[in-house]
Structure 1
């Protein structure tokens, strides 16, 4: 086992990472949006060399408190990438991003670990944006959630032979996200297992057109959001696994609200064209739902993950 670099002992960093919502309807595994709900973490390197983890808020009493914790795994992956032994750390996490609800909690944990490692390694190792995205994608498997968590705003993510890439776009100021969160969870693995290996040609063309339109709607023309959020690639196939989500989305869309599944679900994302629309959409769900749904009127996060040395 390699010796720990003595320069790391006593270093400390705070990390703030946003929730994300992926797909946004037609942009399957490509489009993502950062939302102003955050996990806040404090990571330090103690002199005693003992790993300790505290989790407060979401996940408290549920997530592991050893080196299998996803933040710790992401930190180790980052240290391994630069060939430096990772020291034992003290991690204190204050979590507010819901777990298992389609709001990028695993992507946020991965990004938090990578940003924490970068902060601890300041002056010892350098990381550019492409490296950060590649490291996060290694662990997450696809870049659509980790890109907005890292960089904020609306992101388009794609993969190339040399690794994942992204483009960050500014969202029109009129776009007002509403997230509706149920009490039950949804497995991302289960949601993905419901996807067919291939789809009809006309459905693929349909989604290409809507994805292109969605970029225009989110950046320039929010009045097009209802048409731009139509999808034929994934939501219909997953509907049977989350019938209440599907039923409420159909009700919202019939009433003119641009509602889609948030990530793998079961939360619902409504990309409202103005703030007042969020109240109407939230009231509709409160009246029609058969179980409690938490309505979160959120801002778009434009910064992405931040790490600050203490």
Structure 2
């Protein structure tokens, strides 16, 4: 029920938000680095002249996701509007999902960012907040900023927590950096992947990881030839390998062949940061060949959807129209 103390968005207005998929960690950048890629979810929210909730969902998750107030988008809209001094009226929501769920490509971050930006765009102009506010709320709801920051700003995001708040710096990578993803036909819940991590790690591993993360930023920005060394991780991938043996084996195989492969986010998608189009094409062909070999240990019964992508440089885009 609408509270008389809160405003409601203007009926008849629509906000459409397009949000890129993201890959978090990028190897050694655990919970701090993220990359926006050219796969996009689109969310449209229309304020109705009257009560009710209409939900049109297409694409990924169409058979599993709810179409009521329990959906992540609706819950996030409610939270964002409450922070802005508004409450939900009648809504028509149209969601077109391209990002696969439970694969490590930021599907939940995309939904959260899209909903917050739509909510922000549908309030009165004097009440609208900037993207720094979106980052704070999205990071709070997601639990950390590594996926939401590149979804908001695009390119590579270096994010950190500052007291009770979050901050992020945008880094534009070299135009030679080409992401390639191998998306498996199996899911892995982030909660399970996080549950496999130890409470502490050896000091030597932490020190080594720090050096590789610093090297990775240099490689991304100006020397992609160092991407293989820069994506070496010591903090999380080995601990999670048991939950995604096919992905772990593919990463090991590709790295042994000289490609900068790592687990995307919590997995099980594998990403390669190729140094130029020639390497990207070779990686696509190599993963395709490995996936076609039914008895190959790298395949392990997993089939792969292989995509050559681009780095998204702009982040989420929103349009408001009557």
TM-score range, shorter chain: over 0.9
Match of 1:247 among 240, 249, 256: 249
Match of 2:314 in 1: 303
Residue 2 (structure 1) aligns with: 3
Corresponding residue of 1:44: 46
Q: Which moved more, 1:299-308 or 1:115-124?
A: 115-124
- CA offset at residue 263 of structure 1? 0.3
CA-CA distance at 1:71 after TM superposition? 1.1
Instruction: Provide the residue aligned with 1:204 in structure 2.
Output: 206
- The alignment partner of 1:59 has SS state of coil
1:294 maps to 305
Q: 1:104 aligns with which of 94, 103, 106?
A: 106
Partner of 1:142: 144
Q: Are the aligned partners of 2:181 and 2:271 in contact in 1 as well (CA < 8 Å)?
A: yes
1:157 and 2:168 aligned:
no
Distance apart, 1:228 and its partner CA: 0.3
The answer to whether 1:263 aligns with 2:274 is: no
Q: Distance in 1 between matches of 2:148 and 2:121?
A: 18
Residue 294 of structure 2 is matched in structure 1 by none
Map residues 17-28 of structure 1 onto 2, 5 A cutoff: 17-28=19-30
1:123 aligns with 2:125: yes
Q: Classify the secondary structure of the residue corresponding to 2:158.
A: strand
**Partner secondary structure for residue 105 of structure 2:** coil
Q: Name 2:236's counterpart in structure 1.
A: 234
| Matched position secondary structure for 1:137 | helix
The two structures have a TM-score, normalised by structure 1, of 0.97
Calculate the aligned-residue CA RMSD, in Å: 1.2
Partner SS, residue 54 of structure 1: strand
Kindly tell me: are residues 281 and 107 of structure 1, through their superposed partners in 2, closer, same or farther at Cα, counting changes over 3 Å?
same
What is the rounded CA distance, in whole Å, between the counterparts of 1:139 and 1:51 in structure 2?
22
> 1:38, 1:97 within 8 Å by CA — same for their partners in 2?
yes
Quick one: distance in 1 between partners of 2:68 and 2:305?
31
Q: Secondary structure at the match of 2:152?
A: helix
Distance 1:80 1:273 in 2: 45
Partner of residue 222, structure 1: 224
Deviation at 1:128, TM superposition (A): 2.1
Task: State how far apart, in whole Å, the 1-side matches of 2:266 and 2:17 are.
Answer: 25
Higher mean Cα deviation, 29-38 or 49-58? Answer: 49-58
1:114-165 superposed Cα distances (whole Å, 9 cap, x missing partner): 0100110141412122211111011100000000001111000100114010
Matched ranges for 1:63-78 at <5 A: 63-78=65-80
Structure 1 gap segments, 5+ residues each: none
Residues 205 and 7 of structure 1: CA distance in aligned 2, closer, same or farther (over 3 Å): closer
Contact residue 286 and residue 292 of structure 1 kept, 8 A: no
Q: Deviations over 1:247-305 (max 9, x none)?
A: 01100000000000000000001000111112211222222233320111001111111
Alpha-carbon distance in structure 2 between the residues aligned to 1:148 and 1:6: 30
Partner deviation per Cα, 1:172-215 (whole Å, 9 max, x = no partner)? 00000001101101110000000000000000000000000000
Query: Which blocks of at least 5 consecutive residues in structure 2 are unaligned?
Result: 292-298
Residues 39 and 97 in structure 1, CA contact (< 8 A), matched pair in contact too? yes
TM-score scaled by length of structure 2: 0.94
8 Å Cα contact 1:149/1:305 also seen in 2: yes
d(CA) in 2 for partners of 1:277, 1:88:
50
Structure 1 residues 6 and 181: CA distance shift in structure 2, 3 A: closer
